[in-house]
Amino acid sequence: MFKMINRYFFLFNVFLCFITINIKSSFSNILDITTPAKQVMIYDHEANEVLFEKNADDLMKPASMAKVMTAYIVFDRIKDNSLNMLDTFLVSDKAWRMGGSRSFLELNTNVSIKDLLLGLIVQSGNDAAVVLAEGISGDEEAFAREMNRYAEIMGMNNTYFTNSTGWPHPELQTTSRDLVILTKRIIQDFPILYKLFEEKIFTYNKIKQSNRNPLLYTMNGADGLKTGHTNESGYGLIGSVNRNDRRVTVVINGLNSKKKRTFESKRLFNIVFRETALLSLFNEQNSLVRANVWLGKQSAVDLIAKKPFKKIVSPLEFNKTKIKAEWMDPIAAPIRKGDVIGSVYISIPGKKAIKEDLISAQNINKMSSLVRVKSILKFLLYGDIVDK
């Protein structure tokens, strides 16, 4: 007889059989965080979920964190082959005279794109940023317009760039939310070039400088991105950590010392990875169940989840989550790969069950007419639903 089949899976058993699960969680619902930073956003890339935010849409000054957009535009030119790492740009008088952090480029020399990028990213060189801006757009004002065009395309709706460096300017502004958008895009769009943000040391003109990002030296999995500081902005940082196939980005700003910036960024990352979990199911699209088929050329069909599922939960919720698969058994042929056959219910304690589609993993054709008649008669006489 045809009947509805319910099959329950405890998360622990499912984990052993066919899925990979990582650790991480939802700050805004689970953790009570206080932080002295004026603006904060914590974002989980895998779950595409904001874990915590404080004044995330308040306007702020990015300082040298603006250089991430400068790097993005250079990366984009390299990707479309209009630039390569061996191309050179001339160091202008304006670039040579730039104050603040510097790569110590020499006036009227030609510097490779690779060295300029390392100067920009590792040394936070204002001179390197201006050389790149002038080399790409002719002058820094035109490059700032290009930065704003990219920001608009990305949906950085509260950002306005005035220069390539983040140098103080009355109209320069961004938000921690917009910097998360930029971070997500540069990691996603340029996975190879992004590795430049991991470099800890760069020597140019016989001057050795260390990366100003403190996370690179003390935080397991840290691979970016950029610090920033001006008197107006305070101390800020965009930090990203990729640990156990799970990436989290933290943007903080408005702290009153370099020491507090280091301490607070590390503290927030440690809270995330200690107190939260990423429930990640069905990534490999393995068979969840093998269902009986009625009047098909094969007697059974594999059922899989239609798409991967990712959700931030607490460790307690993770341990008590269970999964139920439900379908009508047997399934009448013909069956096409991708047909919705049933449902998968993910039950997280204290939350409404989440329903996902259960689909066929294969095509199953009908039996020939003669064999179908034989199977139907066998069912009527003996109650067998499939021809074994």
Domains of the chain: residue spans and CATH: 3-21+285-382 (2.60.410.10), 27-275 (3.40.710.10)
CB-CB contact of 381 with 373 (8 Å) = no
Q: Which of 317, 380, 372, 315 is nearest to 346 (CA)?
A: 317
Give the span between the Cα atoms of 86 and 272, in whole angstroms. Answer: 40
pLDDT at 36: 97
pLDDT at 281: 92
Q: Give how far Cα 355 sits from Cα of 15, 28, 128, 320, Å.
A: 19, 23, 52, 17
Q: Which of 228, 344, 312, 345 is nearest to 24 (CA)?
A: 312
> Which residues of the chain, if any, have pLDDT below 50?
10-29, 386-388
Say if strands 246-255 and 39-44 run parallel, antiparallel, or are unpaired. antiparallel
Count Cβ atoms within 10 A of the Cβ of residue 186 and give its class: 0-12 exposed, 13-18 middle, 19 or more buried. buried
Say if strands 289-294 and 331-332 run parallel, antiparallel, or are unpaired. parallel
Beta strand segments in the chain, E: 3-10, 39-44, 49-54, 88-90, 110-112, 201-204, 207-210, 222-230, 234-243, 246-255, 277-281, 289-294, 300-305, 309-313, 322-329, 331-332, 340-347, 354-360
Say if strands 300-305 and 354-360 run parallel, antiparallel, or are unpaired. antiparallel
pLDDT at 296: 86
Sorted by sequence, the CB contacts under 8 Å of residue 262 that are 6+ apart come out as 214, 218
Give the span between the Cα atoms of 328 and 339, in whole angstroms. Answer: 13
Residue 81 corresponds to which amino acid? N
pLDDT at 8: 60
**Tokens linked to 138:** 């002719």
pLDDT at 32: 72
Say if strands 277-281 and 289-294 run parallel, antiparallel, or are unpaired. unpaired
